[in-house]
Structure 1
Amino acid sequence: MGETEPFVAIRSSATAEDLPNASFAGQQESYLNVRGAEMVLAKVQECYASLFTDRATYYRHKQHFPHEKVALSAAVQMMVFSKASGVMFSVNVANGNDAQIVIDTIWGLGEYIVLGKVTPDHFVINKNNLQVVERSVVPKAIELCQTPGGGVHEAPVPADRAIRPALTEDQIHELAGYAKKIEKHYVCYMDMEFALDARTDRLWLVQARPETVWSNKNNKQATKESTVSMNKTEKILIKGLPASPGVSTGKVHVIADPKDIDEFEA
């Protein structure tokens, strides 16, 4: 604080995000490590313009949500110099168990956990006593870092740090306590994002919004995990953790450019 031109994050927030039957979160753009009034104004304009990207427009059309009913604001937040970051849910989004809190974390800025570029450490915490009941600590080979002059860049994580948990036991316990308090305040399951400041080792909650999947299910009991047969000889390119149980399967057809949309096979 006290800087004349601090680094900030420009985060989009649309009125259509996190509705009861659809989550528009992530459809609009956000920008990290922005500095200077001119650049801030430019990125705010780009945030507004992202309301009408192909992705955002198609999603609204698919959800039968009128384009003219959506408004968007751009929040300007002080940047946290993140040495680690992640997401946290006050319900186990893999099975709907609301007696558990889930924390996923990686090194560096949180963008790579949202994009799925890095498999995160995964912790499941008992909501009553805040004890870790399940953990998965995995190698995290790359991280997204802040560039000194502005913007971000990818960097390799040193081998000794890559295999370590991105959070300590005390930090996991602290975050889980925040999750309980935030859920109690909003009276619903919550989806949160956090960052660990490299300069102060202080944890910051940078976003909290209602969780939109299990919050709307009448049956909040854990569902049976479905199994999928897999050819064990195939190389796994990347592993991830489910945001919610799947309800159907189907083919994927990749369209590299909007002009090739006619190649889509139903």
Structure 2
Amino acid sequence: GLLVSAPEAERMIERLKEYPLEAVGSAPWMEQHDWVEKLNLQAHHNAQTHSDEFVMESLVSFDKMSVLVHELLAIEVWKGKVLPHLMKHLANKVDSVTSYLLLYHEATVANLLEVSLFHSHAAEACSEDAMLELVDWCHRKMIYLNNEAHYDANPPDKTKEEWLKQSSEDAFEDKQKEINFGVGMAALSILRYLTDHVKVLPLGVVGRMVNSCDVLMALVPLVDKPPWVRRRKGETQKFVQNKWTTVERAERMRLTPADAQVWLAVNNLVVDAAFA
């Protein structure tokens, strides 16, 4: 069924706005987060059921794609610059739902952009400045996937006693790492879609991908050493559909969707004449 109807989605999308950093966590910001969460779930439902993608179409019609990019960047900066100063307070003084929403906002916005940017006209609807920033954001996440993600994907095993003794701050940090990993995976899909849509992207954006960021060189190591594959207790696990799944020996060579995104993006960057 519908989480939000098309008219409801339009009303929400029409009211989406860019919030400054100091507004993060405020009541209006929280309300917008709730809208984005609902729109994200509905957009994924529409895509999976091959039904009318009215969420994406409304984002394009109301010219809100660039607003989503702004919100993505704002929460990234907030998590990098503000959150470290608030971590102890959020972990110990604020209810877990509120603190989780603050952490999860980047993933929610990234997921909504991911499902929308599958379509070239959604990419075309972004301003050039927003697209440049989005390419930079994707590049930062590729650097993350090549580095910290390997540690975030392989947390040390804990005994029951260690879990019980874990402080609120440690639990908060673990949740943050888990969310960061999911954001990195969404960024991989977004980057691949951008390489698909090269014909509708401004030349400056293509130049940013090829020259300034050199996303090809950021993607190649992921072919050889993907962070979404790990060994746990003698078993191979792969991160598929936002969860770790044990892979049978016979299935170990099968590509995951993340592997496919890397190969498709690399293929686009190498083969498409627009990137030459």
Using the size of structure 2 for normalisation, the TM-score is 0.21
The structure that is strand-richer by fraction is 1
Say which structure is richer in helix: 2
Q: TM-score, normalised by structure 1?
A: 0.22
